[in-house]
Amino acid sequence: MRVLHVAAEMFPFVKTGGLADVVAALPAAQRAAGLDARVLLPGYPAVLDALRRSRKVHDGGTLFGAARVTLRQGVLTDGELPVYVIDAPYLYARDGGPYQDEAGREWRDNLQRFALLGWYGAHLAAGDAGPQWQPELLHCHDWHAALACTMLRLHPPRRSRTVFTVHNLAYQGRFELGDFPLLGLPARCLDGLDGLEFHGQLSFMKAGLVDADAISTVSPTYAREITTAEFGCGLEGVLRSRADDLHGILNGVDPAVWNPATDAHLAATYDAADLDGKAQCKAFLQQELGLAVRSDAPLFAVVSRLSQQKGLDLLLEVLPGLLAAGAQLVLLGSGDAALESAFREAARAHPTAVGVQIGYDEALAHQIIAAADVILLPSRFEPCGLTQLYGLRYGTLPLVRRVGGLADTVDTTTGFTFDTADAGALSDAVQRALIAWRDRPHWRTLQQNAMNRDHSWSAAAAAYTSLYRSCRLRS
Ligand code: ADP
């Protein structure tokens, strides 16, 4: 089966979160399973720099106000995965992130930047943006790719079916209603239950939800949660109306990137049969971050975006109790300025027990997940969560709030869970982890259970294939 993934991120070239990891791993797993999977990406500088063996396959002229748009096909670095890259310097050739400038402000032309991504997804699928290869299934990821579903649904000689995957419903791609004409869509696409209009704005996310042939999200629990007012971000009604087409498929772990037995970032490698290397990783990290080098101090860790979603304000509340019990905390992350400075302050106040690195650091993320005893995810909501999966694989027990993908992947045989998003419930779970930590044989059993869990991408890839096969054209 020919599948084209349309996405705004792909590890290691451009990444702000789990989406990038999925877009790197899923097409590779699908190709290993015999599908002809390919990826369409915006031509950010890092993507164009990595593009090899490329040739121009389409001339887009001045689409969405961008002078000189071309579509190139090639591979990235030494990879085998065929990629289509939209070379549109006016829209994509700039420093900063994929969605925001260096000061954290949304790019003012994000509507055009991601309408162009959707346009190419739809037109490749319709067979009129490059003659040679046409996907049977267009797999659009998050709001950035959502307009492909709308544009393809409008396209008369449409041949491809569409799956829209929600990686995080909280990021919706909302724009001024007055900018609708810039999209070049017929007026009937705007209004009504099936229109792009959402509370007086344009919503790309809504477009994907109403126009895709099938919808998926990244865990079965999140698939149920987003049909409720608590988690639906206002789109719960739309999602309920498509309940029969809504599926939850858990993400996997890419073993080429996340494997403690082969991880080149680690001071020492290890596996489930021999955890000596894990102890060395812990001592190394404690030393690197200026913490007391103590194997008997339970090391709690966070590797996360610092946003309201992640519940790390609750962690600040329970931190005094955690430290009083002799534990240590390491945090790597960036985002909300108030959280950044609160964690920095905690590190200043407790230099031998709290290590904080503000920023994004791939190598340090691996070192922390290998070194820690407990990985913390007290999230208010969590579509899937990858960090707890990495924790399981590295024998680093997850302590999670039981929501979304966290509820689907962590239980009392592999970690610690709590239900209510408050400091009291988190503190109880921390106490349970501390009690378990003191019982070494029990801890070792939990680690074995965690490390033996199978979260391979092959299972997820097979689930997507059956979704693709069952997906019917929406009229
Ligand atoms: P989300 O997509 O909501 O950010 P996920 O758990 O799905 O959360 O994925 C987060 C990904 O980003 C993981 O691969 C995690 O290791 C990585 N990550 C998050 N913050 C950092 C950071 N500061 N440095 C390096 N990697 C990070």
Tokens describing residue 129: 């943006």
The residue whose CB lies within 8 Å of the most ligand 1 atoms, and thus the one to mutate among 303, 330, 379, 381, is 303
Give the pocket of ligand 1 (CB within 6 Å): 17-18, 21, 168, 303-305, 332-334, 360-362, 365, 384-387
CATH number of the domain at 199, please: 3.40.50.2000
pLDDT reported for residue 131: 66
Burial of residue 413 (CB within 10 Å: 0-12, 13-18, 19+) is: exposed
User: Are both 291 and 234 inside the same structural domain?
Assistant: no
Ligand 1 atom nearest the C-alpha of 369 is 16
Ligand 1 atom nearest the C-alpha of 359 is 23
Angle at 123 between CA 117 and CA 126, to 5 degrees: 145
The tens digit of pLDDT for each residue in 37-55 reads 999 999 999 999 999 999 9
User: Are both 244 and 293 inside the same structural domain?
Assistant: no
Could you give the residue ranges of the DSSP H alpha helices within 127-164?
142-154
pLDDT reported for residue 386: 95
The two beta strands, 69-76 and 83-87, are antiparallel
Calculate how far, in angstroms, residue 414's C-alpha sits from the geometric centre of ligand 1: 21
User: Are both 379 and 236 inside the same structural domain?
Assistant: no
Ligand 1 atom nearest the C-alpha of 382 is 3
Calculate how far, in angstroms, residue 279's C-alpha sits from the geometric centre of ligand 1: 24
User: Are both 237 and 373 inside the same structural domain?
Assistant: no
The tens digit of pLDDT for each residue in 303-351 reads 999 999 999 999 999 999 999 999 999 999 999 999 999 999 999 999 9
The tens digit of pLDDT for each residue in 368-416 reads 999 999 999 999 999 999 999 999 999 999 999 999 999 999 999 999 9
User: Are both 449 and 465 inside the same structural domain?
Assistant: no
Question: Which residues form the domain of 103?
Answer: 2-252+458-470
Calculate how far, in angstroms, residue 86's C-alpha sits from the geometric centre of ligand 1: 26
Question: What is the layout of strands, in order, in the sheet containing 416-418?
Answer: 354-358, 328-335, 299-306, 374-377, 397-401, 416-418
The residue whose CB lies within 8 Å of the most ligand 1 atoms, and thus the one to mutate among 26, 142, 253, 305, is 305
Calculate how far, in angstroms, residue 222's C-alpha sits from the geometric centre of ligand 1: 18
Ligand 1 atom nearest the C-alpha of 167 is 2
pLDDT reported for residue 156: 66
The residue whose CB lies within 8 Å of the most ligand 1 atoms, and thus the one to mutate among 304, 312, 388, is 304
Query: Does pLDDT of 250 surpass 70?
Result: yes
Residue 32 lies in a domain: yes
Angle at 20 between CA 143 and CA 398, to 5 degrees: 110
Calculate how far, in angstroms, residue 57's C-alpha sits from the geometric centre of ligand 1: 34
Calculate how far, in angstroms, residue 325's C-alpha sits from the geometric centre of ligand 1: 28
Ligand 1 atom nearest the C-alpha of 357 is 23
Contact, 405 vs 383, CB < 8 A? Answer: yes
The whole model's pTM is what?
0.95
Instruction: Determine the length of the chain.
Output: 475
Residue 261 lies in a domain: no
Residue 53 lies in a domain: yes
User: Are both 61 and 196 inside the same structural domain?
Assistant: yes
What integer is the mean pLDDT of 426-452?
A: 98
pLDDT reported for residue 207: 98
For residue 3, the Cα-to-chain-centroid distance in whole angstroms is: 20
User: Are both 425 and 462 inside the same structural domain?
Assistant: no
Calculate how far, in angstroms, residue 16's C-alpha sits from the geometric centre of ligand 1: 7
pLDDT reported for residue 355: 98
For residue 67, give every residue at least 6 positions away whose Cβ sits within 8 Å of its Cβ, in sequence order, or none: 90
Domain count, the chain: 2
Residue 69 lies in a domain: yes
User: Are both 241 and 302 inside the same structural domain?
Assistant: no
Calculate how far, in angstroms, residue 63's C-alpha sits from the geometric centre of ligand 1: 33
User: Are both 59 and 22 inside the same structural domain?
Assistant: yes
The tens digit of pLDDT for each residue in 104-161 reads 899 999 999 999 999 999 999 998 887 689 999 999 999 999 999 999 999 866 679 9
Contact, 252 vs 455, CB < 8 A? Answer: yes
Residue 271 lies in a domain: no
Ligand 1 atom nearest the C-alpha of 390 is 16
Residue 368 lies in a domain: yes
pLDDT reported for residue 158: 63
User: Are both 442 and 464 inside the same structural domain?
Assistant: no
The residue whose CB lies within 8 Å of the most ligand 1 atoms, and thus the one to mutate among 217, 309, 367, 387, is 387
Residue 269 lies in a domain: no
CA distances from 61 to 150, 168, 183, 309 (A): 22, 33, 16, 40
User: Are both 220 and 283 inside the same structural domain?
Assistant: no
Ligand 1 atom nearest the C-alpha of 218 is 7
Query: Does pLDDT of 283 surpass 90?
Result: yes
Calculate how far, in angstroms, residue 24's C-alpha sits from the geometric centre of ligand 1: 14
For residue 391, give every residue at least 6 positions away whose Cβ sits within 8 Å of its Cβ, in sequence order, or none: 369, 372, 375, 397, 398, 415, 450
pLDDT reported for residue 130: 76
Residue 267 lies in a domain: no
Calculate how far, in angstroms, residue 23's C-alpha sits from the geometric centre of ligand 1: 14
Higher pLDDT, 193 or 56: 56
User: Are both 286 and 308 inside the same structural domain?
Assistant: yes
